[in-house]
Amino acid sequence: MSSRRVGIAGVGTSSFGRFPEQRIEELAWEAIAEAIDDSGLSVSEFDAAFVGSVFGPPGVANRVLAGAGLGGIPAFKIEAACASGTVALHEAQHAVASGRYDNVLAIGVEQLSTKFAGPIVPEPGDPEGRAGLAMPALYALQASRYVQQHQLDAALLAEVAVKNKAHGALNPRAHLSGTPPTSAEVLESRPIAGPLTLLQCCPMSDGAGAAVVTTLNASSNSHVEIMTSQFSSGPLWTSVDDAPWGFRTVASTAARAFTETGLSVQDVDVFEVHDAFTIGEILTLEAIGVAAQGQGAELAPSGHTQLGGPQPVNPSGGLLSRGHPLGSTGLAQTAELVWQLRGQAADRQVADAEIALLETMGGGAAGVDANACVIALLRGPTR
């Protein structure tokens, strides 16, 4: 099947934080308006929209589109746990590549402040839910295994939080954009589960993101090419091998992305990856191949993944600092990478960024390695 080259012509986001006084639609409208304005397209030129949301109300896709003046176009709601927004981007990319549509909006929107007072409660009908295995506990089990298996000091995990919160301090849209904590402050914050403390966990946030996906204009100085977008739903997570939860799914998805583009992980200048918990960033970077297994915990303290280092990871502050409104996260990551590749990221700009990697992995279904994982490789415009 022939395939068209696809670009992102515009991006936008809301601010991220706790906004219980707002309607969920308002969060989306802010992001949509910015993305459309950024793209130079008019509202009447859109053919369809894919909307990622986990806990949005019934009809959330039509609600946000109607109020944005986009009512009447096909609206697809996508739920893929934390990767909902990224799957929306993936579907938009394939819809344009295949010729099904020409101009598509990918949107992510979530409002957690009106749904949960504490952590997201797991499904009580699942064995994991019955046992109290909320997401912090699931990641804590990975963290505990990781530090014991590789004989590491658990304090190393905190360095990911220190790094991403320092990045987030440079992002005015981040949920936690204040003075970044020290390593000691991260470690002394309230215990949550296993070696994970409060500041090693993402905040429960509200927010929205949007991207205008269209046929690539290679001569444009604003279009960012989606070189590839790969999507996997995880198999059962069993004891067949010793891989941590989600690891095989992320690794195989990344391998497909690199094979399809002919790029290697060394070619990537900047990453936005799923760091809902500190251990998540470490395991993800090992699965992608940035570090060998057992060495990912050294990436942040060594400076490799810090702004100014060879391969900055989560310059936006990541989920740990920008926040993690589940369905929105993938589009927030996308917006950050588009700004980075255009040279529009202000104080957190990665110098000469040309190739970016976007990764989101959502989980939570009983016994499954990952509900969904999307990895996309993006190429910036010629500058």
Residues carrying an active site annotation? 82, 324
With both helix axes pointing from N to C terminus, report the angle between 158-168 and 278-288 in degrees, rounded to the nearest 10.
Answer: 100
- 151 forms part of the interface with other proteins (CB under 8 A): no
CA atoms of 22 and 168, how far apart (whole Å): 23
**Which residue, 148 or 259, is less far from other proteins as judged by CB?**
148
Instruction: Compute the CA torsion angle 120, 124, 125, 130 (nearest 10 deg).
Output: 120
Which positions from 91 through 120 interact with other proteins, judged by CB under 8 A? 118-119
Minimum CB distance to other proteins, residue 270 (Å) = 32
Q: Which stretch binds other proteins (CB under 8 A): 91-99, 126-134, 212-220, 262-270?
A: 126-134
Minimum CB distance to other proteins, residue 250 (Å) = 18
HSE (side-chain half, CA atoms, 13 Å) at 306: 14
- 369 forms part of the interface with other proteins (CB under 8 A): no
What SS3 string covers 99-130? CCCCEEEEEEEEECCCCCCCCCCCCCCCHHHH
228: left (phi over 0), alpha (psi -120 to 50) or beta: beta
Locus of tokens 């598509």 = 104
- 36 forms part of the interface with other proteins (CB under 8 A): no
Report the residue from 10, 52, 122, 246 that binds other proteins according to the rule CB under 8 A. Answer: 122
Residue 356: count other Cβ atoms within 10 Å of its Cβ: 25
- 136 forms part of the interface with other proteins (CB under 8 A): yes
- 203 forms part of the interface with other proteins (CB under 8 A): no
- 144 forms part of the interface with other proteins (CB under 8 A): yes
Q: Which stretch binds other proteins (CB under 8 A): 134-142, 163-171, 322-330, 349-357?
A: 134-142
- 145 forms part of the interface with other proteins (CB under 8 A): yes
- 124 forms part of the interface with other proteins (CB under 8 A): yes
Report the residue from 2, 44, 179, 190 that binds other proteins according to the rule CB under 8 A. Answer: 190
Binding characters for other proteins, 223-262, by CB under 8 A (x = yes): --------------xxx-----------------------
CA atoms of 147 and 157, how far apart (whole Å): 9
- 141 forms part of the interface with other proteins (CB under 8 A): yes
**Which residue, 119 or 294, is less far from other proteins as judged by CB?**
119
- 137 forms part of the interface with other proteins (CB under 8 A): yes
DSSP string, 324-374: --GGGHHHHHHHHHHHHHHT--GGGPPTT--EEEEEEEE--STTBS-SEEE
β 372-379/224-232 pair status: antiparallel
Backbone angles phi, psi at 191, to 5 degrees: -65, 140
- 2 forms part of the interface with other proteins (CB under 8 A): no
Minimum CB distance to other proteins, residue 258 (Å) = 29
CB 24 within 8 A of CB 56: yes
- 202 forms part of the interface with other proteins (CB under 8 A): no
Report the residue from 142, 200, 314, 340 that binds other proteins according to the rule CB under 8 A. Answer: 142
Which chain residues interact with other proteins by CB under 8 A? Answer: 118-119, 121-122, 124, 127-134, 136-137, 140-145, 148-149, 190-195, 237-239
